[in-house]
Amino acid sequence: LYVKNGYYTPTIDMYKNLQIEKQGAPNNYILIAAFPGHRPTIYVASMNGVQIWNSQYLEFRGFEVRGMDDPPVVNQFDTTMNGNGISAFGNIGNKYIRIVDNHVHHVGGNGIGVANSDQILILRNRVWHCTHRSDAGNSGIAITGPKNHAPTSQPYGYVVAENVAYDNVNTFACSCAGYSQIT
């Protein structure tokens, strides 16, 4: 699926703007990508701008995923303020996911966050000005709760390479695990 330039705004769902739940195959990855020469924009106004959920053999490439430009914080728990840019997780997890050449910025939570997944490639993304409005100790690029979904002879497979991440700063105290200071 190729997407041309445009501004894609959220649906009315507090958990995700766009949920991708697709199963490809080893020699047939599902590709969701910007049309060559384009960089479509997805606006984040929920907990997850792009949510890759229980998928395998999928590549998400070439998008701009952006939140709001520093709105005033009225409630730090407001999901429109502290959502993640691109998230890959699920109750059964993801395998063989590629997150490549995206620009993620001005989201309150993780720029790119991966959990409960295995065989993940995060490559050549630019992630900036994220995490400012979260109380969950988020990061520009975060991997939490890695799972080994491969046969037991294979190790975990995470490659995070050639990304540029900057100005990803927590400004609220972390409310997780009993912390009471900015992390």
**pLDDT tens, the chain, 183 aa long:** 999 999 987 665 655 678 888 999 999 999 999 999 999 999 887 778 899 999 999 999 999 999 876 655 555 555 556 678 999 987 777 889 999 999 999 988 899 999 888 899 999 999 999 987 777 778 899 988 777 766 655 666 889 999 999 999 887 766 665 555 554
Which single residue is written with the structure tokens 């991966």? 114
DSSP character for 1? -
Q: How far apart are CA 133 and CA 148, in angstroms?
A: 31
Q: What are 162's strand-pairing partners?
A: none
Amino acid found at 63: F
- What is the pTM assigned to this prediction? 0.87
Q: How far apart are CA 141 and CA 151, in angstroms?
A: 26
Name which of 2, 22, 171 is nearest 96 in CA terms: 22
Q: How far apart are CA 71 and CA 135, in angstroms?
A: 16
